[in-house]
Amino acid sequence: MLPMIGLGLAVIVVLFVAITTRPDTFRVVRSTSIGASAEVVFAQLNDLHRWSRWNPYEKMDPGMTVTYAGAPMGVGASYHYVSDKVGEGRMTVTESTPHERVGVEARFFKPFAATNAIAFTVKPSAGGVTVTWEMRGDQTFVGKAMSLFVKMDTMIGKDFEKGLTDLKQLSETEAKSA
């Protein structure tokens, strides 16, 4: 019986050490090339009212309720969302450099509380622009434990890729019709 207790304690210690030595932060980054001008793409990113057309999280739950507040677009614009599938949170634009960058503070309330920084950068490239979607945040103890089994990059990266694909299609269609 005593050896089993010792083994159990050893497993707990090993797990605790494995979890606490995980990185304190995470970063997820995805990019795509879009055959449209920086002005067209930036307009989709800087106006939260347009996010429902390309944002994968809004598309996951058509019943999501969204309440807009603050500025109509750019710095100070925000929206609060509540969804049975995605959770609850608030997005607030904190940085807006025309045709180059949009920074967003993402506050998540449910299913897990967290505050992360999101940045969209738009850089000229051959035939249009390259758009990068990045999210950074702190890893809580629970997040570190989960990262033993699935990485944030794997979990969120697929959603970013889907969103960038939809943003690309939307922006290129809009650029052709202009």
For the chain, which residues make up each domain, given as ranges?
A: 25-177
Reported as a single tens digit per residue, the pLDDT across 34-88 is 999 999 999 999 999 999 999 999 889 989 999 999 999 999 999 999 999 999 9
pLDDT in the model for residue 134: 98
In the block, tokens 């050896």 appear at: 3
| pLDDT greater at residue 122 or residue 6 | 122
Could you say which architecture CATH assigns to the domain 25-177? 2-Layer Sandwich (3.30)
Helix axes 38-46, 152-177, angle to 10 degrees: 120
Q: Percent of the chain at pLDDT above 90? A: 67
What is the three-class DSSP state of 44?
A: helix
| pLDDT greater at residue 139 or residue 20 | 139
Q: What would you report as the CA-atom Rg of the chain, rounded to the nearest whole angstrom? A: 20
pLDDT at 21 over 70: no
pLDDT in the model for residue 153: 80
pLDDT in the model for residue 15: 60
